[in-house]
Every structure is written in C-alpha cells, then in structure tokens.
Structure 1
Amino acid sequence: MEMREMTIRSSTSSVDDLLEAFQKTLPYFQKVLPLDCMFAVTDKEKFLYYLPGEEIDTKTVAGSPLPPSGGASQCLDTGTEIVLTIPKDVWGIPVKSSNVPIRDESGNIIGTLSLGLSLANQQVLEAAAQMIASTSEEISATTEEIASSATTLSHELLDLKNLAEKVQSNIKQTDTILSFIRQIASKSNLLGLNASIEAARVGEQGKGFAVVAEEIRKMATNSEKSVKDADKILSEIKQSLNLIDEKISNTAVLGERQAAATEEISASMEELASSATEIDKIAQII
C-alpha cells in the first residue's frame, strides 16, 4: 500500500485537529483494508496515536519515545518514505512497515504516519508457491523418466517382435525339410513293400532279403511318425509365436500411449510451475 507525504498548517490547533481526524478515520481504513494492519502517528519525538491490529500489536503507548532505529525515526532523518520488513521474531508475525513524513506548509517535517501490514498471508503464499514449484519439478523429473523408460520399452518390444518374426521365418523353412523327410519315408515304405513282395516270390533264397525289407519298412514308418510329431510341435510353436507377436504389438501400443500421456503430464507440470511463479510474484506485491 503506497502512502504519500502529508502537508498541514504549522499550528498547534491544526496538529490537534489532524490527530483528532486520524483517530476518527484510521479505524475505518483499518476495516476496509483486506489485511491485518496497524497505524501510528508521531511528532518528531514521540508517538501521538497508535491503533493496533488484530494480530499486529507492538504494545506502543501514546507518549512513548520513538525508537532510534525504527521506521519513523529513519523517516524523520531522511525526509523520505521508509519501507521496512520486520521479521516474525520481533512482533510474532512478519510485518511490512511503511512510514511517510508529515510536513507543514513550509515543507518542514513535523511528524510521521506509519502503517504496518501483516505479511503472514504473503509467507503462506510464498511457501505454497515454493512447494508447488518443488513438487512440479519432482513430478516433471519423474514423468520424464517414465517417458524415457516407455520409449526404451517400445524399442525393446520392437526388437523382440522382429526376433519372433525371424523365428517364425526359420520355422517355415523346416516345413520344406519335413516334407522332404516325409517323401523319403513314403518312398522307403514303398521300397520295403516291393522288396518284401520280391523276397516272397523268390522263396527260401529271399529270406535274408525279406528281413532287410522289413527293417526298411519299420524305419520308414518310424520316420513318418517322427515327422508328424515334429510337425505338430512346430505348429504349436507357430501358434505361440503368433500369440506372442500379438501381445508384443499391444504392449508396444500401450507404451506409446504411456509416453504420450507422460509428455502431457510434464507439460501440465510446467504450467503449474509457471503458476507458482505468478503466485510468488503476487506475494511480493503485498
């Protein structure tokens, strides 16, 4: 709150009239001000009038001498407005003290008018602004870390997806090998059957050849069974890989969404930090 110098006529009655006017009007000013405040009027040596606030009370008594280092004394010495910030440990709450000189028509200083404003709300605002700024910085750092992790996860999932596709490609190549083995088994079985028929036609002389033919047929049967088993296993692996590929794709999408969401949160935190700065500026205006 800005106060200006006051000029009155240099006479005892005028000073008394001014003091009476202050006594009548300052209580109204105190009520309309939104902050707790106190007023004091002095001459060049002592306090003439003191109006305490609800919480601000310096226990000043009319007629008591001015403190040499106080704002009123400095105002009298310099002839200019003196604004001081009084820490909490002096009067129990922080106070902003504004002191302006009162001059007569000749320009001579005959006293001062002092206003003390409570800075308790300012401290609350400053503390809130600092807490908001600190919290927003921590959250921003965390969201940036999450976004970075989400991006890394997305890249890792992409590598895993490529690896799964490569495995699927390798498994498809085994189909050709199994088909070749299946053909050999079929031909071997046919060869063994023909050999058995030929051995039976020859009679006693073909018994040894019949044994070999039987073994060939057994080998062909076992090979065909092994091919079927391998084909079944590979088919199950293909299905599992397809499912893995689907899960990887879904997870990668979620990772991208998470990264986008954390970027939005980070932007909101920057706006919150900016608001905290504005709150701190408002607190400084008080």
Structure 2
Amino acid sequence: MISQNETDIEQLLESLKLSLPLVQRLFPIDVMFALADKEKFIYYLPGTELDIRVQEGMPVPPSGGIRKALETGEEVSANIPKEIYGWPFKSSSIPIHGEGGEITGVFTIGISLSNQETLSYAANTLATTSEEISMTSEEIAGTATDLANTVSELKVLGQKVVEELHKTDEILEFITKVADNSNLLGLNAAIEAAHAAEHGRGFGIVAQEIRKMSVSSAASAKEIAGILERIKMNITRMDATLLDCLGQSERQAAATEEITASMQQLAASAVEIEKIARLI
C-alpha cells in the first residue's frame, strides 16, 4: 500500500517520470509501469517489447486488476496470457492511499513472462524428450540382455555339438577298423581262391568285391573325418564369435543402463527448471 495525499499525486508523477526509466534499466527482464488516478491513466512507461498500448488520459478499464485495486484497496496480481496483448506478463497493481485512508490512485507494474514461458516450454520439452529417450534406452537394454541370453544359449548348444562330434570319432575309428579287417579278409580270401584254382574263381570274385568295399569304406571314413574336423573348426570359430558378441551385448546393456540413469537425472533437472520458471 502506498500512502499519498491527493494533492501530491503530481509530485509523485514527476518523481516517477524521473526514476522509473532508470529503474526499468536495472531489471534483467522486460517491465512496464503505469500510474492511474481514480478515473484515468496519468503516466505510462512501456517495456522494450511489453506494451499494452495505454496512453495518458485513457480511462481506467471497468474491469481488471487496476479497477479491482481501486475498488478493494488491496494489491491485485494476475498473470495475463499472451493471447490478450501479444506478450505474457505478470501484472501487480498497488493502490495509493491518501492521508485519510481514501484511495487516490493505483501504481501498476507489468513483468514480462516471455522468458518464463520459453523456459517452461523448454523444460517440458526436455522432460518429455528425456522420458522418451529413457524408455527407448530401457527397451534397448532389455533387447541387449535378451540378445546376451540368446548368445549364451547358442554358445552352450555349440559346446554340446562339439561334444557330440567327439563321439563320432569312436564311430569313425570303428569303421576304419572294419574296413582294414575287411581288406585283410578279402586279401586272404583272394589268396585261398588262387590256391583253389578253377574251383575258387567265384570265391575270388567275392573276395575282390570285399576288398573294393573295404577300400571304399576306408576312403569314405577318411573323408567323413575331414568333414567333421572342419565342422569342429567352424564351431570353434563360432564359439569365439559368440563369446565376443556376448561381451558386446553385456557392454551395450551396461551402456544403455547408464544412459537411462542419465536421462532420469535430466528429467529431474527439467522438473527443477520448471519450478524455477514458476518463481517469477
């Protein structure tokens, strides 16, 4: 509340005309000032951008903060949206009282909320973006974890395949022995067939076929052994690759968890920025 004799309004007006431009320059944000008596505006200092287009001599509006301050004798504050004058601002109207307590006028200050609006918008955008990135990071982390689990399962399966391939060594060794024995048997049969001369001709043919079969079996067993050896080598390489993939997946999961934590901190900071913006 400002106490002022009605006859001293002119003196107050002259003082404000001298001081308010200086005061305005001290504000870090855009401000405007207005002084009105009970009926009309008698002084108006617009801001750099903030301007409600008031002129001295214009009547006080029948509604609004200035009229309410004149009627109630109390300070009236309100946030004026951008849609009304083109700039959002906070208006505070302080009634001026004479020595007898009567209201002789109203002093009004308007403080631009453009920075607050921009800051609030940026904070909301930051919070939303942080939340989206955090959700995406959590999905990536979950996928990386699933991938790591899958790679681990493949690694176990690869080890089992190698174990099963080792069992085939015994089978191939048995086939090789059978081939060798068949070859020896065919050779002995051929010798006996030669001793029997004409009577052993049919037996000799059988012995020859047995030797051919044994040689073919031995060659096939050797070829199969080579194939299985190459399979073992490829599985060993695959196992090393899977191990590397497992390490990368684990690092990716850890990295995305760190990103998620950082985004959560960023979102918390955005909330604090929003609170600061509302302090104006």
| Structure-1-length-normalised TM-score | 0.93
- The 5 A counterparts of 1:73-112 are 73-112=67-106
* Match of residue 7 from structure 1: 3
Q: Distance in 1 between matches of 2:204 and 2:217?
A: 20
1:64 deviation in Å? 2.1
- The 5 A counterparts of 1:43-122 are 43-122=37-116
1:284 deviation in Å? 1.1
1:45 deviation in Å? 2.0
1:11 deviation in Å? 5.1
Q: Distance in 1 between matches of 2:215 and 2:139?
A: 60
Q: Structure 1, residues 220-256: CA drift from partner, whole Å, max 9, x if none?
A: 1111001001101111111111111111111111111
Q: Structure 2: which amino acid aligns with 1:147?
A: A
Runs of 4+ in 1 over 6 A off after TM superposition: none
Q: Structure 1, residues 17-41: CA drift from partner, whole Å, max 9, x if none?
A: 2221111111111110011111011
1:217 deviation in Å? 1.2
Long gaps (5+) in structure 1: none
Range moving further from structure 2, 120-129 or 202-211: 202-211
* Match of residue 159 from structure 1: 153
Q: Structure 2: which amino acid aligns with 1:31?
A: R
Q: Structure 1, residues 152-211: CA drift from partner, whole Å, max 9, x if none?
A: 111111111111111111111111111011111111111111222222233333322222
Q: Structure 2: which amino acid aligns with 1:166?
A: K
> Is the contact between residue 133 and residue 260 of structure 2 (CA under 8 Å) also seen in structure 1?
yes
* Match of residue 21 from structure 2: 27
* Match of residue 196 from structure 1: 190
SS in 2 for 1:164: helix
Long gaps (5+) in structure 2: none
* Match of residue 164 from structure 2: 170
Q: Structure 2: which amino acid aligns with 1:145?
A: E
2:265 corresponds to 1:282: no
Q: Structure 1: which amino acid aligns with 2:23?
A: F
Q: Distance in 1 between matches of 2:171 and 2:228?
A: 12
SS in 1 for 2:253: helix
Instruction: Give the superposed CA RMSD.
Output: 1.5
> Is the contact between residue 80 and residue 89 of structure 2 (CA under 8 Å) also seen in structure 1?
yes
> Is the contact between residue 141 and residue 256 of structure 2 (CA under 8 Å) also seen in structure 1?
yes
2:125 corresponds to 1:131: yes
Alignment partner for residue 249 of structure 1, among 243, 267, 274? 243
1:260 deviation in Å? 0.9
Q: Distance in 2 between matches of 1:34 and 1:107?
A: 35
Range moving further from structure 2, 157-166 or 200-209: 200-209
Number of equivalenced pairs: 280
> Is the contact between residue 6 and residue 104 of structure 2 (CA under 8 Å) also seen in structure 1?
no
SS in 2 for 1:285: coil
Q: Structure 1: which amino acid aligns with 2:160?
A: K
Q: Structure 2: which amino acid aligns with 1:153?
A: L
